[in-house]
Amino acid sequence: MIPLPAGAHTTTAGLGIVGNPSQVEVVNRWPQDDSLRHVLVHFQPSVAAGGDAVYRFTDGGRTAPPVPVTVAETTGAITVTTGPLRFTISKTAFNLVDQLWLDQDADGQYEAGEQIIA
């Protein structure tokens, strides 16, 4: 979680990790002006075993992931789409994954023939 000064940012546009695709999620806002107070940055770090890495947070532009992760919620299920993978979790059934698709042809469509768990 990254703290931000009051009034500095009102949106996540431009916020991210320098040189790495990243997504920024708003955690909370300053009450006096509704500007961003804390953000959470999601990215895939790459560090060799036993190695070190330094990542820098920036407000000077970010590299967006080619396909951002999305989460959609309805009254009965939560659907997560990562790009090649889409899965649903039922809010009423007792199973870990309710449905699962793998976009094998990378066309962004999750067709019946690509469904692995029904």
**In a domain? residue 64:** no
Residue 65 lies in a domain: no
The overall pTM is greater than 0.85: no
pLDDT of residue 65: 74
Q: Are residue 8 and residue 51 in the same domain, yes or no?
A: yes
Long-range CB contacts (< 8 A, 24+ apart) of 64-68?
64/16, 64/21, 64/22, 64/23, 65/21, 65/22, 65/23, 66/21, 68/23
Of the residues 18, 36, 58, which one is the last residue of a structural domain?
58
What percent of the chain is modeled with pLDDT above 90? 67
Quick: pLDDT tens for 34-46.
Answer: 999 999 999 988 8
Give exposure, 39-59, as e/b (b: 16+ Cβ within 10 Å): bebebeeeeeeeeeeeeeeee
Q: Are residues 79 and 49 in the same domain?
A: no
Q: Are residues 52 and 74 in the same domain?
A: no
State both tokens at 113.
């023939």
Can you tell me the distance from the alpha carbon of 74 to that of 103, in angstroms, rounded to the nearest whole number? 22
pLDDT of residue 101: 95
Structural domain for 91, as ranges: 70-117
Residue located via tokens 């997504």: 23
Residue 19 reports pLDDT greater than 90: no
Quick: pLDDT tens for 38-78.
Answer: 999 999 888 889 999 999 999 987 777 777 888 999 999 99
